[in-house]
Structure 1
Amino acid sequence: MLSVSDLHLSFGGIKALQGVSFEAAPGEITGVIGPNGAGKTSLFNAISGFYTPDRGRVAFDGRDITGLSPDRRAGLGMARTFQNIALFRGMTVLDNIKLGGHTRLSANVWQALAYFGPARREELAFRAEIEERVIDFLEIDHIRKAPITALPYGLQKRVELGRALAMQPKVLMLDEPVAGMNREETADMARFILDVQEEFGTTILLVEHDMGLVMDICAHIVVLNFGQQIAAGTPAEVARDDEVIEAYLGAAA
């Protein structure tokens, strides 16, 4: 579903990515791990189109998308969340989630401005679908009219996941979805991620520092260190890899 081949990315003299290559299998959860500064978020930004790689190729569902803009990638079925919450803070939960479906609406600018006929029918149908498919799924019906600023951190993270799900993505990219959460919030988010995979068949690419979560829910793991890919395999294989152990724990003198 998603293939990255020989990806290179640099900022001046800093080499953020150096020859990263991996594949995310359809319907599976693939984890990307590594110490701080390993290049994980740079990799996400290159895959989603925010950064243009110096060299290499990104393919989505068999199509080369390396040169496509982020909005065109979103239109193909690629959605993501962010390491730092990127919600519209002056809007309600429902409105934030509805914005995720912008790629699926077909009304033209004049129909939207007048808000009658096809535009109104389309938005009402989409809102009903969002309330049934996303809000109920994430168990946030009780806060759907609440402003984002009134919500605790864990619920804001869930709303951001809801906005991504509103796009009905084929590939869902989650950048540190449980960062800053307590144990209960982490367990809830893990459950929702697994439910997305199981119920919607979504291919998930996950960047996360919580090794317990990664090892529990990922089928395949890619390990980065200083922009280089040092290991890839199943959780058991990665956990036994000497380079991975050295990158996380340091080598004995």
Structure 2
Amino acid sequence: MDPILEIKNVSLQFGGVKALEDVSYHINRGEIFSLIGPNGAGKTSMLNCISGLYHPTSGSILYNGQEIINMKPYNRTALGIARAFQNIALFAHMSVLDNLKLGRHSLMNSGPLSGGLYVGKAAREEIEHRKKVEEVIEFLELQDIRHIPVGTLPYGLQKRVEVGRALALSPDLILLDEPMAGMNNAEKDIMSHFILEMHEVMDITVVLIEHDLGVVMNLSDHIAVLDFGRRIGFGTPAEIQENPDVIKAYIGEETVI
């Protein structure tokens, strides 16, 4: 398989606290990859290292074979890496459409003239970006709420818009940090459907942090398991379910999946 992302011996330390310790794994192009573990295991810290919000203390992160560990977050976005956050980071007073457009505009090369007017190359670029935003709205079935302020929407729809803002960047690799947190079962089913469609229809490689093990086992091609910042398991869902270290540290001795 062709790896899109390679994590090699990554460590992250804050003073005397080791958030990640010598973690290695790889993610194959076109798969759904899940990162699981107990609270405080280092999962979000790992996504922060991949997206560029944190700089690892040591190690290497290769994206399509290119070292990105010293690259700024916006440069990683330009390469095709997008991130949806665990805690919703939308502009509550702005509409769904404007939140998606704002995310997409980070890719614009031609800035607007004063007054928000676009001409020439900037106008053509604006049309293309708006087309991509409309595709995301259609994909996530947001047509009926496109002009509604995000802050007035139910939590499940806000999470969908958060994912949509990442999708608006047309990523090759999308990092989803607990996109189903706080959702009921029906909302989880809808989000699971969208994740599968990202993978199968849009050909996006998905990295998923999720605490619902049923969702993880059903969606994932491969899984890495962290505990106290160290990798204790890596493999297919079947291999993870049979890993004694994972069962002891996370799944539980008496749990049967």
CA pair 230-87 structure 1, distance change in 2 beyond 3 A: same
Alignment of 1:70-219 (within 5 A): 70-108=73-111, 110=113, 113-131=116-134, 133-219=135-221
**Structure 1 counterpart SS, 2:211:** coil
| 1:130 shift after superposition | 1.7
Q: How far apart, CA to CA, are the structure 1 residues paired with 2:132 and 2:116?
A: 22
Q: How far apart, CA to CA, are the structure 2 residues paired with 1:225 and 1:147?
A: 39
Contact persistence 1:111–1:118 (CA under 8 A): no
Q: How far apart, CA to CA, are the structure 2 residues paired with 1:32 and 1:39?
A: 10
What TM-score comes out, normalization by structure 2 length? 0.93
**Structure 1 counterpart SS, 2:139:** coil
| Pairwise CA RMSD | 1.6
Stretch of structure 1 that moved more, 105-114 or 135-144: 105-114
**Structure 2 counterpart SS, 1:200:** coil
Aligned to 1:26: 29
| 1:5 shift after superposition | 0.3
| 1:121 shift after superposition | 3.5
- The residue identity in structure 2 corresponding to 1:96 is N
Q: How far apart, CA to CA, are the structure 2 residues paired with 1:47 and 1:149?
A: 29
Identity of aligned residues (%): 50
Q: How far apart, CA to CA, are the structure 2 residues paired with 1:108 and 1:139?
A: 30
Q: How far apart, CA to CA, are the structure 1 residues paired with 2:34 and 2:116?
A: 42
| 1:15 shift after superposition | 0.5
Stretch of structure 1 that moved more, 7-16 or 114-123: 114-123
1:223 to 213, 225, 229: 225
Q: When the two structures are aligned, how many residues end up with a matched partner?
A: 251
Tell me, which stretches of 5 or more residues in structure 1 are unaligned?
none
| 1:196 shift after superposition | 0.5
Contact persistence 1:111–1:119 (CA under 8 A): no
What TM-score comes out, normalization by structure 1 length? 0.95
Aligned to 1:42: 45
Contact persistence 1:208–1:214 (CA under 8 A): yes
Tell me, which stretches of 5 or more residues in structure 2 are unaligned?
none
CA pair 112-196 structure 1, distance change in 2 beyond 3 A: farther
**Structure 2 counterpart SS, 1:86:** coil
